[in-house]
Amino acid sequence: MHKKTSDTVEDILTVVTGIVMLLAIYMVFIYVPNDKVQGMVQRIFYFHVSLAIHTFVAFGAVALFSILFLWKGTRVWDRLAHASAEAGMLLCSLVLITGPIWAKPIWGAWWTWDARLTTTLILWLIYGGYLMLRSATGTTGQGARYAAILGIVGAFDIPIINRSVYWWRTIHPAVLVTREGGSGLSDPRMQSAFGVCMLAFALLLVVLIMVRNRQARVADAIEELHLLVTPSS
Amino acid sequence: MLALIRKEILLEMRTKETLSAAWLLGILTLLVLSLAFDPTSELRPQAAPGALWVATLFASVLGLSRSFLPERDNGCMHGLLLCPVERSTLFLGKAISTLIFLSLAQVILFPVFVLFFNVSVTPSLGWVVLVLFLGLVGMSALGTLFGAISIQLRAREVMLPLLLMPLLIPLLIAGVQATAHLLSGKDISGTMNWVNLMIGFDVGAAVVAWLLFEYVVEE
């Protein structure tokens, strides 16, 4: 099989991502100054927020690719939706891990039922279900349609979940209503570090989706060859 | 569509499987939750709305998981699909008959809840019933969509709650909050936000499920 252009792009992007990620790590740990109020712990914020934003991007991409799949019916959108869900799930898990690490020293608790935290946890459960659905159906056309439906419904549900959880927290007195604010990125070095982190995770997301898509494409090709050589019964 | 609803009701009257299972599981959930909270505790009245909604959610999901079972076991889905009606009409028929069953389940479940948790519902009974009904509408709409999906899967008893419950969380929160507000005897204004949210959820869920149902039953 000859090498496709998209594969070359993927190889280049992978190397670039690696370099930008190293730069991001350097900036977060060495380049930026300590936060005046939060100290060392604040450094996790660069990764945490970048991860959170790209989680939403990834799950948005699942919905977009799912709509395209149901509309066009071509397998490539299905593969991309699946790849985006997997990448999004990884980022979402990392958000849920990095968050408490930051929250414990700052808020004094690993977890609070803050609107954002709760929404993220529900998202994680929805797309966990999505991946379960995927593994329960395999790569059949039927399974792909089911997954696409869940991908679309899930995305429509996100704003309503967020709204309900937000009201839920504001109507009840919150245990801790500390916002992340009060520690804005005042230093220009902090801003550039955050920008690099955003870029690093954007690239990582794209590369992860591309790699998974390539794997799925190769798996499809193998499946087709397999059908060719095995006599149909 | 009416014929479809009639068929569902006829089937249920003959077997009474779904309703009796939903009743028993709902009552059982209320019992378990009653035992979990100390009956003399001050917290008990505060836990009541939550108990009602958890019982409703469990009973409904159980009912929904059975809703497509006859079609699958008897191969009737093909028969239904061959009917000269739109797929979306099939969805409406299924969803409305599901809504009827879930409402019937509440006819027993709600009085049991009042009895177990000793709440006074009289001042705002109409509103509480409306809030419950709005919850059931959303559950029926999304539940019919995902019921049709999960019935085709291995491990369907696990998959339906797994897929459905996270999506229904806005209804659960809104329902519990609105019920708590109503049972505490305050004025209606505080619940309107929640009622509006539930109406918004129901309309959105119904439209999305109605549009997407076609892709579930496609061969």
List of chain A residues whose C-beta atoms are within 8 Å of the C-beta of residue B182: none
Dihedral pair phi/psi, residue A114, rounded to 5°: -70, 155
Confidence of residue A59 (pLDDT cuts 50, 70, 90): very high
Q: Which residue is it, tokens 């869940």?
A: A150
Distance CA B175, CA B171 (A): 6
Q: Which whole number is the average pLDDT over B141-148? A: 89
**Once rounded to an integer, what is the mean pLDDT over residues A143-151?**
88
Q: Considering only CA atoms, which of B7, B121, B131, B19 is closest in space to residue B64?
A: B19
Q: Is B106 exposed, middle or buried (0-12, 13-18, 19+ CB in 10 A)?
A: buried
Most confident region among A198-212, B2-16, B114-128 by mean pLDDT: A198-212
Tracing tokens 């009796």 back to the chain, one arrives at: B20
* pTM of the complete model: 0.83
Non-local (6+) Cβ contacts of A129 within 8 A are A150, B159, B162, B163, B166
State the amino acid at position B20 in one-letter form. Answer: S
Tally of helices (H runs) and strands (E runs) in chain A: 6, 0
Which of A152, A160, A165 has its CB closest to that of B201?
A: A160
CA dist., res. B134 & res. B205, Å (int):
12
pLDDT of B76 higher than 60:
yes
> How far A32 CA sits from the closest chain B CA (Å)?
39
In angstroms, the CA B71 to CA B176 distance is: 34
Residue A48 — left, alpha, or beta (φ > 0 → left; ψ -120 to 50 → alpha)?
A: alpha
* Distance in Å, alpha carbon of B146 to nearest chain A alpha carbon: 8
What does the alpha-carbon distance between residue B218 and residue A39 come to, in Å, rounded to a whole number? 57
Could you say which of A122, A136, A145 has the minimum Cβ distance to residue B166?
A122
Q: Which of residues 139-158 of A touch B (CB under 8 A)?
A: 142, 145-146, 148-150, 152-154, 156-157
DSSP 8-state symbol, A179:
-
Contact A92, A55 (CB under 8 A): yes
**pLDDT at position A83, please?**
92
Q: Give the pLDDT band (50/70/90) at residue B24.
A: confident
Q: pLDDT for B155-184, tens place per residue?
A: 777 888 888 999 998 899 888 888 888 887
Rounded to the nearest integer, the mean pLDDT of chain B is: 82
**pLDDT score at A7:** 79
Neighbours of B57 (CB within 10 A): 22
Q: Residue A217: exposed, middle, or buried by beta-carbon count in 10 A (0-12, 13-18, 19+)?
A: middle
Query: Does position B68 have pLDDT exceeding 90, yes or no?
Result: no
Residue of chain A nearest B162, judged by CA positions: A129
**Mean pLDDT lowest among A59-68, A110-119, A151-160, B66-75:** B66-75
Catalogue the E-assigned strands of chain A.
Answer: none
**Is B189 in the A-facing interface, judged by CB distances under 8 Å?**
no
Give the pLDDT confidence score for residue A174 in this predicted structure.
43
How close A24 gets to chain B, by Cα (Å)?
34
Confidence of residue A108 (pLDDT cuts 50, 70, 90): confident
Of the candidates B145, B174, B204, the beta carbon closest to that of A149 is on B145
Rounded CA separation B88/B77 (Å): 14
* A23 vs A81: CA distance, rounded Å: 30
| Interface contact A70, partner B, CB < 8 A | yes
Q: Choose between A100 and A169: higher pLDDT.
A: A100
Angle at A44 between CA A43 and CA A49, to 5 degrees: 115
User: Which residue from B minimizes the CA distance to A132?
Assistant: B159
- Average pLDDT score over residue span A197-202: 90
Chain B residues touching residue A171 (CB < 8 angstroms): 177
pLDDT for A67 = 92
pLDDT of residue B126: 84
Distance CA A221, CA A209 (A): 18
**What is the chain A residue with the closest CA to B176?**
A168
- Which percentage of chain A shows pLDDT scores above 90? 22
According to DSSP, the residues that pair with A35 across neighbouring strands are A39
Is the CB of B203 inside 8 Å of chain A's CB atoms?
Answer: no
Total residue count of chain A as it appears in this document: 233
User: Does residue B152 carry a pLDDT above 90?
Assistant: no
Predicted pLDDT at B128: 87
Provide the pLDDT confidence category of residue A44 given band limits of 50, 70 and 90.
Answer: confident
Radius of gyration for the alpha carbons in chain B, expressed in angstroms and rounded = 18
Higher-confidence residue of B156 and A97: namely A97
- CA of B103, closest CA in chain A: separation in Å? 24
* ipTM (interface predicted TM): 0.81
Q: How far is A85 from chain B (nearest CA, A)?
A: 15
> What is the pLDDT at residue B86?
74
Q: Angle, to 10 degrees, between the axis of helix A5-26 and the axis of helix A188-229?
A: 150
Inform me whether the pLDDT recorded for A171 exceeds 60. Answer: no
By the CB < 8 Å criterion, does B155 face chain A? yes
Which of the 8 DSSP states describes residue B49?
A: H
Among B112, B126, B145, B116, CA closest to B34: B116
* Average of per-residue pLDDT across A37-42: 74
- For A32, the 3-state DSSP assignment is coil
Q: Determine whether the interchain pair B212/A125 forms a contact, defined as Cβ–Cβ distance below 8 Å.
A: no
Q: Which residue has the tokens 């708590």?
A: B180
AA letter at A154: G
Work out the end-to-end distance of chain B between its first and last CA atoms, rounded to an integer number of angstroms. 21
pLDDT for the residue numbered A3: 63
What pLDDT, on a 0 to 100 scale, did the predictor assign at position A170? 59
Q: Is A163 on the interface with B (CB under 8 A)?
A: yes
- By Cβ distance, the residue of B149, B173, B204 closest to A168 is B173
User: How far are the Cα atoms of A62, A68, A91, A124, A131 from residue A56, in angstroms, in the given order?
Assistant: 10, 18, 9, 11, 16
| Residue among B155, B166, B215 minimizing CB distance to A125 | B166
pLDDT value for A177: 41
A168 touches chain B (CB under 8 A): yes
